[in-house]
Amino acid sequence: MTGRSAPLSNIAFYRAVIFLTGLFIACLAQSVVEAASLDDFRADYDLAQVMPGADRLGPSEGSPPSAIAYKGEKEIGYLFLNSDAVSSIGYSGKPIHIIVGIKKDGTITGARMVKHHEPIVLIGIPVKKIHDFIDGYIGLNVLEYLKHQDERRQIDIVSGATVTVMIIDDTIIRAAIKILRARGAAAIPKSDQPTERVELIQTPAENRDWLSLIGDGSVRRLLINVEDVNQAFIDSGNQAAIERPNPGQPNDLFIELYAGLVTIPTIGENLIGAREYANLQKVLAPKQASILIFAKGLYSFKGSGYVRGGIFDRIQLIQGDISVRFRDKWHKRLGEVYADGAGDFPEVGLFYIPLDSGFDAAKPWRLELLVQRPVGPIKKAFTTFSLNYALPETYLKRTPIVTAGNVASANQNAAADRLMETPLWQKIWDGKVVDIAVLAIALAVLTTIFFFQDWFVRRPKLFDRIRLGFLAFTVVWIGFYANAQLSVVNVLTFTSSLLSGFSWEFFLMEPLIFILWGAVAASLLFWGRGVYCGWLCPFGALQELINKLARALKIPQIKVPWALHERLWPIKYVVFLGIFGLSLYSFELAETAAEIEPFKTAIVLKFARGWPFVMFAIGLLAAGLFIERFYCRYLCPLGGALGIPGRIRMNDWLKRYKDCGSPCQICAADCMVQAIRPEGQINPNECLQCLGCQTLYYDDTRCPVMVDRRKRTERRAALRNSKQTIPNSQESKKTEAMSPAVKNPPDRS
């Protein structure tokens, strides 16, 4: 008794692998990530439909980008593309693009899906149903929604397109929040009133050395070397600037720039000295601030522009929406930095910040350094670097401001943050905890059946009932209830995601599909394609149950001649390779070709579809009445896709006798998909792991080997019984021949 099987020939298998690898590499060399912007779809929607009352649209700008909608000269709202603001990857692995209009108060005025690749919508569900679903967002106020976010908003799910509509819902809401935040058009993320008051603490000056000033952030540093500058111009994409790199070694110091707010006594007196600090106090008006900027290196932060035009054109102070360009009249040149251990700095400048600029010394700010590079006789290219500055908390006093307005705004912001931070896939998993648990239990039961298959197949009646029950569960629960029918489109989507930017988030959108694919991947290592195709595929299980009913009704079964069957089963591999190759050229065409799968019609849409699709699905099921698992045997591209890696399994779990196939043909005749060759070998690429041959393996009434073994056992038992009977009968005859005196000796007492 040996465990042996004969997969497809090595040559055919490796040819298929090489072919697929070549197609994959060829496509990879030409693949690009699909990107789009609002401007790409200006001709695909009606402005009056998305933003009623608007008569023109401004340019798309900002981050994320949006366009202002005008009525005359009045701004009435914004238009944006959801995929510009958030990830909108759909079931196809490509974005669902939706143009959305929103007013400044957060009310959605209209929305229009302008491009998508969803297979269930391209062929299956009418696109009007999706447009009607999107129209349901008209009038929804995003800000009001945030106030009541904990009260779960009901979504009118479109049957068969659950993931698609949930992605649409999530991206419209989250993109709207981002646009409102970017435009500052509503109380997101800040209200009109601040939540705390921040003030400077004017404490007496303390003696501090250079290291302590650097250590606590009183003085901030920006360090740039030659390599940083060259890389910045490379990133800018300016070819003329790239061709003129800065001379020197990569680690040569370009500039070491420092800044400190000398309005604070401790910082000021230690950096510019007590005498200069006293002079500064005489110059500055009350609440006016001053900063010290100093540097060393190859580059001058002052430049020479201020000599000619009176403006320092290489530095700029920015705080929120305030920007300050320093003029020569607000500048005083100093000779050194006084802090102990500071070292020498060729450039030291004291800058006064204009009082009317709105600068608040208690709030963070940044200093932008403009780096220029000549690219022609009079032309220059520019790039910027930033030095961020915030006073240490030692010099600040914070006082909370509690008002009804900012409390409501804070709650609204918290709701917005929760919504933005929680990914959609996590919300979907949270909502399907029970379904996930049921599927996990079912997979655990199936795993137990396979790991302990010898125990089960020795009890054929029990095993048949378990298998029948599991097939019914697969059809009713996995198929019709959960719609967790795997498809060759999933394979195409996975390949497409590898080519265009892989993301786990997309695959996690369907928890049951994700779990099933994980189970398939694991089962391929142990048993091959049969675990899914034979046990977990709803359409496959439906075929098998219908065929069992046909047999019970005495419908005659057709036995496909082996010579014909051997030429028909490769069709599904050809179909898969054709669809896969087509997907490398056009995913949409591949989705259309994938309609050779009746899964969407029969399982997902439950035959609620156009009559050609329904007739096709019914025709395949009707063929299965006469030829068991007809579609699985010859046409299923998903079966072909799973069958190709069938040889990677680690073990041959199906047991065979030496006599299998020569001369015994019982298993081959009984195999429901004719996966057993006349020679007795099992083709693992075709086997559906129904374990029927294993019940025969232990059947001592049908399997010739087991029948012969049972008969030998019975003969040995009969022989042992006969040997025990013969001695007993001879002893009885001897006893009868004895004299009465011997039988009953006299009493000699």
* Full-model pTM: 0.56
The per-residue pLDDT for 446 is: 93
Residue 193 above 60 pLDDT? no
The per-residue pLDDT for 726 is: 62
- 94 and 45: one domain? yes
Decide if 496 is inside a domain.
yes
The per-residue pLDDT for 621 is: 93
Strands 396-400 and 380-389: unpaired
**How many domains, in total, are found in the chain?**
3
Q: Residue 653: what residue type?
A: W
Question: Which of residues 506 and 535 earns the better pLDDT score?
Answer: 535
C-alpha separations of 641 from 15, 256, 489, 533, 595 in Å:
15, 60, 11, 11, 16
Q: Which of 347-351, 425-429, 473-477, 512-516 has the lowest mean pLDDT?
A: 425-429
Give the number of other Cβ atoms within 10 Å of residue 743's Cβ: 10
Give the number of other Cβ atoms within 10 Å of residue 33's Cβ: 9
User: Which letter does DSSP use for residue 392 in this model?
Assistant: -
Q: Which of 394-408, 465-479, 591-605 has the lowest mean pLDDT?
A: 394-408
Strand, coil or helix: 222: strand
Helix (H) / strand (E) element for 212: namely helix 210-215
Q: How far apart are CA 94 and CA 502, in angstroms?
A: 11
Q: What are phi and psi of 78, to 5 degrees?
A: -135, 150
- 174 and 225: one domain? no
Decide if 722 is inside a domain.
no
CA 643, 647, 650, 652 dihedral sign is: positive
The per-residue pLDDT for 583 is: 82
DSSP state string for 12-25: HHHHHHHHHHHHHH
The per-residue pLDDT for 407 is: 45
Q: What are phi and psi of 381, to 5 degrees?
A: -110, 155
- 89 and 216: one domain? no
The per-residue pLDDT for 525 is: 84
Residue 467 above 90 pLDDT? yes
Q: What are phi and psi of 685, to 5 degrees?
A: -70, -25
The per-residue pLDDT for 118 is: 67
- Give the confidence band of 58 by pLDDT, cuts at 50, 70, 90: confident
What is the pLDDT of the chain when averaged over all its residues?
A: 81
The per-residue pLDDT for 734 is: 54
Q: Which of 532-536, 606-610, 614-618, 688-692 has the lowest mean pLDDT?
A: 606-610
- 327 and 392: one domain? yes
Q: What are phi and psi of 400, to 5 degrees?
A: -65, 145
Question: Which of residues 473 and 304 earns the better pLDDT score?
Answer: 473
Which of 183, 211, 241 is a domain's end point?
183
Average pLDDT over residues 232-247: 86
Average pLDDT over residues 502-511: 73
Strands 66-71 and 56-61: antiparallel
- What the block records as the tokens of 650 is 């680690």
The per-residue pLDDT for 73 is: 80
Range of the domain at 435: 424-697
Instruction: Tell me the percentage of the chain whose pLDDT exceeds 90.
Output: 28
Decide if 53 is inside a domain.
yes
Decide if 720 is inside a domain.
no
- Give the confidence band of 5 by pLDDT, cuts at 50, 70, 90: very low
On the 0-12 / 13-18 / 19+ scale of CB atoms within 10 A, 15 is exposed
- 172 and 204: one domain? no
Closest among 684, 652, 653, 681 to 667, alpha carbons compared: 681
- 384 and 529: one domain? no
The per-residue pLDDT for 466 is: 94
- 205 and 175: one domain? no
- For 524-593, give the secondary structure using H, E and C: HHHCCCHHHHHHHCHHHHHHHHHHHHHHHCCCCCCCCCHHHHHHHCCHHHHHHHHHHHHHHHCHHHHHHH
- 587 and 438: one domain? yes
C-alpha separations of 636 from 342, 545, 571, 597 in Å:
76, 18, 9, 7
Question: pLDDT for 517-549, tens place per residue?
Answer: 889 988 888 888 888 999 999 999 999 999 999
Which of 115, 148, 183 is a domain's end point?
183
Q: How far apart are CA 392 and CA 400, in angstroms?
A: 18
Decide if 188 is inside a domain.
no
- For 81-92, give the secondary structure using H, E and C: EHHHHCCCECCC
- 329 and 431: one domain? no
- 175 and 212: one domain? no
Q: Which of 24-28, 380-384, 622-626, 743-747 has the lowest mean pLDDT?
A: 24-28
The per-residue pLDDT for 119 is: 58
Residue 348 above 90 pLDDT? yes
Strand, coil or helix: 489: helix
Decide if 713 is inside a domain.
no
Strands 347-352 and 290-296: antiparallel
- 173 and 203: one domain? no
The per-residue pLDDT for 733 is: 55
Average pLDDT over residues 554-563: 90
Give the number of other Cβ atoms within 10 Å of residue 670's Cβ: 15
Q: How far apart are CA 85 and CA 96, in angstroms?
A: 12
Residue 1 above 50 pLDDT? no
Q: What are phi and psi of 420, to 5 degrees?
A: -75, -30
- What the block records as the tokens of 77 is 């709202």
The per-residue pLDDT for 272 is: 93
Average pLDDT over residues 148-175: 65
The answer to whether 368 touches 386, Cβ cutoff 8 Å, is yes
- 485 and 392: one domain? no
Identify the residue whose tokens are 């909608």: 69
Question: pLDDT for 89-144, tens place per residue?
Answer: 766 667 888 899 998 888 898 888 888 766 555 455 677 778 888 888 888 888 77
The per-residue pLDDT for 405 is: 45
Question: Which of residues 587 and 176 earns the better pLDDT score?
Answer: 176
